[in-house]
Amino acid sequence: MTRVITSTSPQKPSDVVLESPALTAPEVAQAVLRARAAQKAWSENAMARAAALRGCAEGLRARSAEMAALITREVGKPIVEAKGEVARAIAILDYNAQAAIDPIGTVIPPTTPGYLMAVREPYGVAGLADVISFTGSSEVGSQIVAQAAKCGKPVQAEMGGQNPAIILPDADLALTVAHLSNASMSFAGQKCTATSRIIIVGDDSRYKEVTEALVAGVEKLAPNDPATEGVLVGPVISDSARTDVESAAKGAVARGGKVLTGGAPVDRDGWFYSPTLIADLGPEDPFNQEETFGPIAGVIRAKSVGDAIDSANAVRFGLTGSVHGRDLEATIRVAQSLRTGMVKVNAPTAGLDFHAPV
């Protein structure tokens, strides 16, 4: 019996977006073999590769509104972000269409008589495991890295994050709150680069000022139908995902955490959860150590910049982070102390340039 993959809309679980037969292992193997057979001729025709990528970009551009609406329907991504995702995909295709015909060799002056040239060659068909690219949880990613190492295969993995944002005493509060509210809660917090921990440097008065502003900023992001223009927070992807968020919040409260705002599912059809901020837990608490994929973030006090850096670096993740302050030189110094792959200065933790080196 053929297994069927069913995809339903998280904002309306009764809406079946797609039903598709799942391929069997032999069918996947045959597809990989056909791709491998075609690869040699394909690798030698840069103009054809560029034309194919441009064609993909043109087709996506012509149906961009339809594609954005489908993304919103299937995964609950706010329509404004879905439109941005499609536009970004088009830009990536256009960029790589040009890259396909860029020079791939570099002539290097030799130290001995002769001719020296370095040529960059792409990896082969992914299904034959020339290289492995993975996006997902740290647990599964670690297993893939370990298995690939046994076979001598390179891996590029983008796994989980528990991303810190440090708010320095001189930060522009209005700008910072706007950045962090969106970075932590938009797309219901379902981004590997979402802000997970907001670390406030300063005395009690400053802490109170910042937390009140954060609560006000987050409460403006009321969950609603993601197909509605202006909505930034829709549902989480599934019932089980919402249960995970709810369990994380309840566990945090049981250990002494204080819910500043949110902290409960939204009473409506779909897998909605109210944007949530939880304070009064130390950086070592499980809530501030483990990733929760949803609209929820921790607020942490720091008496000094040094304490803030220690808190930011006190997790096993190292994906991204941000630092916010008016003194740019001092802010950059703090940013350079974070042990993360990407660091933003006076900007949200989420988002990156696709042409930047990784």
Catalytically annotated residues: 158, 192
Q: Are strands 195-201 and 132-135 parallel, antiparallel or unpaired?
A: unpaired
With 0-12 / 13-18 / 19 or more C-beta atoms within 10 angstroms meaning exposed / middle / buried, residue 7 is middle
The DSSP element (H or E) to which 240 belongs, if any, is: helix 239-254
Cα 263 from Cα 297, distance rounded (Å): 11
> Helix or strand or coil: residue 304?
coil
**CB contact set of 196 (below 8 Å; sequence gap of 6+):** 161, 162, 163, 164, 184, 288, 291, 292, 297, 298
Query: Tokens 């193997």 correspond to what residue?
Result: 29
The DSSP element (H or E) to which 116 belongs, if any, is: strand 116-119
Q: What angle do CA 159, 343, 325 make, to 5 degrees?
A: 140
Task: Report the amino acid identity of residue 150.
Answer: K
